[in-house]
Amino acid sequence: MLAGTASGTETGTGTAEWDRSHSRRQRTGACVRITMADVARHAGVSKTTVSRVLNGKDDLDAGTAARVRAVIAELGYVPSSGAVGLARGRTSTVGVLVPSLTWPWMGDVLQGAVDVLEAESYGLLLFTCNRGEESMRRFATQVSAKSFDGLLVIEPEGTLDYIEGLHSKGLPVVMIDDRGHQPLFPSIATTNRAGAEMAAQHLLALGRRRPVVVQGPQFGCTEERLEGFGQTYAAAGLPIGADRVVDGDFTFDGGRLAIKGVLDAGIEFDAVFAHNDLSAAGVIQELRDSGRRIPADVSVVGFDDIPLAAHTEPALTTVRQPLREMGAAAARMLLSYFEGSAVPETRQVIPTTLVVRGSSVAP
């Protein structure tokens, strides 16, 4: 896998790293690198002819092609994947654009995509947006250079119009986790509203009638989670007041401080639904520090099912997002496009599931 940032820096291993290492050995005299020009000279043909042999073109004289292959074997020439890709009009590389690598579920999504891409001999070029507009400008330079055949994207904030423009100009794009948006290109989503409804139904079944919601940033996905949870409680005759919806900003400290504010305000509650697992872990820590027993006094449910969820004390009940499956599905959709298959115009939805653990069992 090739890895980089939107600043264009490569940080991983792969063909590019091998080429750099190989070139260094040539400069230091450790070996002599054979080039396409060397093959052409020894075979008595042009570099274009060598390129056509390498790419399997069938309009060459059989004798010429055989002579070129013999010289390639004799000299031990190994063509760079970049040269072969350019000759074919393909790079066999997929770009991935994400806001940051610090999001707790990002690794699972990327691993799902990598599993599919590497199985089909594709590399992956990773771009982050850690430097904001500067990162996006440098990413745009890579788009112009046609450094990859298609793009998987977890939308950095404020870039949807730009990405839709890339797609309209012919770049194959698949979005992962559309966060409630309806982009004008294929996307992979999950059931945020239904997952929140499952969480609410679970808590209601436990007799929890006074929940607090620790919400995340204002994305479409968090709005769906808030609506699904709130409407389920309202349908049970238990509407959730505005004072029971607090901001947790998707972080451990955000969850801890959010529930501390509820405790300090003297609001009575017997359940917490946090919009992600990291803030739910902060909620659990603060409740334990305050002397509240989990789940005897308060049940806690998160969202995502990142690895941390199984290791809180008690282990966290959560709505599982199919993270690896989403990454894998997006990669398969992009590869099918490369192969000429029709890509669905509507988004593909992979359902969430409820994973019950110790933080919300019957007291």
pLDDT band at 22 (very low <50, low <70, confident <90, very high): very low
Would you state the pLDDT for residue 32? Answer: 59
Q: pTM for this one?
A: 0.74
Higher pLDDT, 91 or 76: 91
Would you state the pLDDT for residue 362? Answer: 85
Would you state the pLDDT for residue 79? Answer: 64
How many angstroms separate the CA atoms of 247 and 348, rounded?
A: 30
pLDDT band at 267 (very low <50, low <70, confident <90, very high): very high
For helices 47-54 and 62-75, the axis angle rounded to 10 degrees is 90
- pLDDT tens by residue, 215-230: 998 888 899 999 999 9
131 pLDDT higher than 80: yes
Higher pLDDT, 10 or 198: 198
* Three-state secondary structure of 149-207: CEEEECCCCCCHHHHHHHHHCCCCEEEECCCCCCCCCCEEEECHHHHHHHHHHHHHHCC
218-222, 306-310, 313-317, 353-357: least confident range: 218-222
* Domain range 21-88, CATH class: mainly alpha
Higher pLDDT, 68 or 11: 68
Would you state the pLDDT for residue 80? Answer: 56
153 pLDDT higher than 90: yes
Classified by CATH at the fold level, domain 192-322+353-360 comes out as: Rossmann fold (3.40.50)
- pLDDT tens by residue, 95-117: 999 998 888 899 999 999 999 99
Residue type at position 163? I
How many angstroms separate the CA atoms of 260 and 253, rounded?
A: 10
Would you state the pLDDT for residue 55? Answer: 67
Would you state the pLDDT for residue 75? Answer: 82
pLDDT band at 5 (very low <50, low <70, confident <90, very high): very low
How many angstroms separate the CA atoms of 330 and 334, rounded?
A: 6
Torsion, Cα 21 27 33 39, to 10 degrees, reads 140
Cross-strand partners of 215: 247
28 pLDDT higher than 90: no
Q: Which two tokens stand for residue 144?
A: 């112009």
* Within this chain, domains 21-88 and 192-322+353-360 share the same CATH topology: no
CATH number of 93-190+325-350: 3.40.50.2300
The Cβ of residue 40 has, within 10 Å, a number of other Cβ atoms equal to 18
* Mean pLDDT of the region 180-186: 73
- pLDDT tens by residue, 39-79: 899 999 988 888 778 766 667 788 888 898 888 878 877 66
- pLDDT tens by residue, 296-307: 999 999 999 999
* Mean pLDDT of the region 310-330: 97
Q: Which two tokens stand for residue 38?
A: 């060397």
Domain boundaries, the chain: 21-88, 93-190+325-350, 192-322+353-360
DSSP 45: S
Torsion, Cα 124 128 133 138, to 10 degrees, reads -30
8 Å CB contact between 312 and 360 = no
| Residues 6 or more apart whose Cβ sits within 8 Å of residue 198 | 319, 352, 353, 354
Would you state the pLDDT for residue 85? Answer: 52
290 pLDDT higher than 60: yes
8 Å CB contact between 275 and 303 = yes
Q: What is the pLDDT of the chain when averaged over all its residues?
A: 85
